[in-house]
Structure 1
Amino acid sequence: MKTITRNSRPANRYTVGIQAEVPAVLFGLSLSEKASVSKEEIKELILDGNRIHDIPSFYDEVNRVFMQEVGFTLGPSLDAFNDVLHGGYGAIRGNEPICLKWLHFEKNKEDLGVAATIAFYRAKLEQPETFNPEWARKKLDELECGEGQTYMDMLLEIIGEHPNIRLVV
């Protein structure tokens, strides 16, 4: 198993490292809480990367994993994904410690990589009444120059903003 950790060098870049034990410090807990957290108290959620082949199928898998017990599903939105990771509805209850395992992650890095992200921004450019075309054009230009974030980069950034969630690939 590997775990994704935030790299302190360039913003929004992540590195993959070998996972050791489940350190409670990754979950943003106080010192007294760290002593009382056991592996049994950490909820495990599993994204099956074989079910993911593009952005819409990523959200299908997120709904399968996170939204089984609620009466609605998430649309394909980075903001909606961030909201479900905050907890309060769906599989995550508040700020509980989560081990998010992402199977077939390497495959999904390609599935949600440059090509998918270019299509994502081009779709936004086709809806100027809904999305800011200048913003979408700028993001598309950055990506085409090799400087912008892929959809996977954006997902990893969102996951990394939640100290109670440890991503394991």
Structure 2
Amino acid sequence: MTKYRIDGAEVNSISDLYEQFNRELMADADWIMGQSLDALNDVLYGVDGAIRDGNPATFVWNDHAHSRETLGFDETQRWMLDKLARPGTFDDRRIKSELDDLRGGVGKTYFELILEVFADHPLIELQLH
């Protein structure tokens, strides 16, 4: 079994989270994962393949409450505004709608989006501590 560890106490930004994902998931690769939910999803498909080959995988996310807080409203809003600052690069209309939802209290935070990515990979066990 492969265990990956995320130290939530060290996650103070989206960038910090991806540093940990890269440390855990990309140690044997000659490239690093970009700060992208799609990139994380793609890399987790590789983990799914290893599981199907008989190597179960578990992510242990210690102090996830700290991560939930730091990847909450403020960091999510900053991330969305950063995307909107680069017109034509992303689906501006969708991001504006998601930002409105976030500001209205019904949108998803970056932490919640990360959990959704993991939920798309039911073979991977995610333990939140």
Q: TM-score, normalised by structure 1?
A: 0.70
Which protein shows a greater Rg? 1
Identical pairs, percent: 34
Count of residue pairs brought into register by the alignment: 124
After the TM superposition, which residues 70-109 of structure 1 pair with which residues of structure 2 at under 5 Å, given as runs? Answer: 70-87=29-46, 92=47, 94-96=49-51, 97-109=56-68
Which aligned runs of 4 or more in structure 1 are off by greater than 4 angstroms? none
- Name the one with the larger helix percent: 2
Change (3 A) 1:129 1:110: same
Aligned-pair Cα RMSD in Å? 1.2
Counterpart of 1:115? Answer: 74
Give per-residue Cα distances to partners, 1:111-167, cap 9 Å, x unaligned: 111111101111111111211221111110000000111101110011011111111
Aligned partner letter, 1:123: D
- Of 100, 111, 121 in structure 2, the residue corresponding to residue 162 of structure 1 is 121
Give per-residue Cα distances to partners, 1:65-120, cap 9 Å, x unaligned: 11000000011000000011111xxxx37141211100110000011111111011
* Secondary structure, aligned partner of 1:129: coil
Cα distance in structure 2, aligned partners of 1:95 and 1:137 = 37
Larger RCO of the pair (alpha carbons < 8 Å, separation 6+) = 2
Cα distance in structure 1, aligned partners of 2:11 and 2:67 = 7
Q: TM-score, normalised by structure 2?
A: 0.91
Aligned partner letter, 1:94: G
Query: Structure 2: any 5+ residue segments left out of the alignment?
Result: none
